[in-house]
Amino acid sequence: MVDGVRPDRSLGVDDATLAVYDGLVRLQPTGAAALAEHVGIDEQAATDALARLVAAGLARVHDDGSGRFRAEVPDGVLDDLVSSRLDALDASATALREARDLAARVRTLYHAVTQSRNALEFERLVGADEISTRIAELSARTTTSLEGVMTAVPKARMIEQARESEERLVRRGVVLRSLYRAPARRSDALANHGTWLAEHGGQIRTTARPLPTQYVLFDRTVGLVAFHDRELAGPAAVVLSTREVIACLGMLFDTLWEAALPLPAPVVVAPDDGPTPHEREILTLMHAGLKDEAIARELGVSTKTVRRIVSSLTERLGLKDRFSLGVLAGARGWLDDATADVR
């Protein structure tokens, strides 16, 4: 063994290879057979050691073509080997740090998911007091939007009581949108409230479509779904925050909203021979393909009233049929832009 040199496997030099290098330094130029005898190993082991020394830059084939080997001066070679190993170690250290960080993220993700699965994903409310209190709490934290699907028409007293909290919301820039069934169009108090909401960036709309249940969305992140508890024979609700459920409720609201009519109907300045706002609503729904019965449900009037108005318009304009009335209404711009293409 070369004096003062310790084998270092990290440089690709083990005990046997270092012994062969020691023999090569002493016997050079020489071959595998002589080195094997000198070191006391078999010729194949000496040949393999020589290959490792050549790969490490510590040996080379002699120039005389005899197949013998000579030892290379180790100074620069070892420096290069050490530098190469240091680079590899740095890369390994970086990879280990990245692996450690990844492991930490995976652990965090795993525990977050499992805790979410194990956590209570909804809150159950029983009774009108609990529901109204929770709505007030959620409304106080709402910052962008509050959207409600309402299955019942509120009384004038209830609308007035809700005005104060709604004023606070609109002052904070919260957009209020409420959706009701078509019979709500008969409520003057709700129509007046719709006018006030429209002045503050919100709106009320009505739809002839069935409303599955009553619910409120707060900032599209939390939902409160109301229902009738049969066991308790009273009102109940659940507060939901699961992202996928809120997304579904939001999509349902958007679908119903796009097909609904504003309340009150928008005031449109019509030409002298144009329709009244009420007639304009009927023409818009006719153009959308609704039958008389559906139009009546949408507007909260009788089918007889719808047919009477359609007949009056047809006669007043000197037309022969309903189809001509729809074509003329579209050509003269008598259709409500907000609702003409909702279906």
From the number of C-beta atoms within 10 Å of its C-beta (0-12, 13-18, 19+), residue 183 rates as middle
**What pLDDT digit, counting tens, does each position of 173-225 carry?**
999 999 999 888 888 999 999 999 988 889 999 888 888 889 999 999 999 99
As its CATH architecture, domain 125-263 has 2-Layer Sandwich (3.30)
If you write DSSP's letter for every residue of 197-249 in order, what string do you get?
HHHTT-EEEEESS----EEEEETTTEEEEEEEETTTTEEEEEEE--HHHHHHH
How far, in Å, CA of 311 to CA of 28, rounded? Answer: 119
Residue 52: which of 17, 81, 82 has the closest Cα?
A: 17
pLDDT at residue 107, as a whole number? 66
pTM for this one?
A: 0.47
- The residue count of the chain comes to 343
CATH class, domain 277-331, is mainly alpha
pLDDT at residue 337, as a whole number? 58
Q: What are phi and psi for residue 315, nearest 5 degrees? A: -70, -45
Residue 290: which of 330, 326, 333, 254 has the closest Cα?
A: 326
pLDDT at residue 12, as a whole number? 58
**What pLDDT digit, counting tens, does each position of 273-296 carry?**
677 888 888 888 887 778 888 888
pLDDT at residue 5, as a whole number? 43
Q: Please report, for the chain, the start and end positions of each structural domain, with discontinuous segments joined by +.
A: 9-72, 125-263, 277-331
How far, in Å, CA of 100 to CA of 94, rounded? Answer: 10
From the number of C-beta atoms within 10 Å of its C-beta (0-12, 13-18, 19+), residue 124 rates as exposed
pLDDT at residue 135, as a whole number? 92
Residues of the chain with pLDDT under 50: 1-10, 117-120, 268-271, 338-343
As its CATH architecture, domain 9-72 has Orthogonal Bundle (1.10)
How far, in Å, CA of 184 to CA of 281, rounded? Answer: 15
End-to-end CA distance of the chain: 93
Q: Tell me, what amino acid is at 199?
A: E
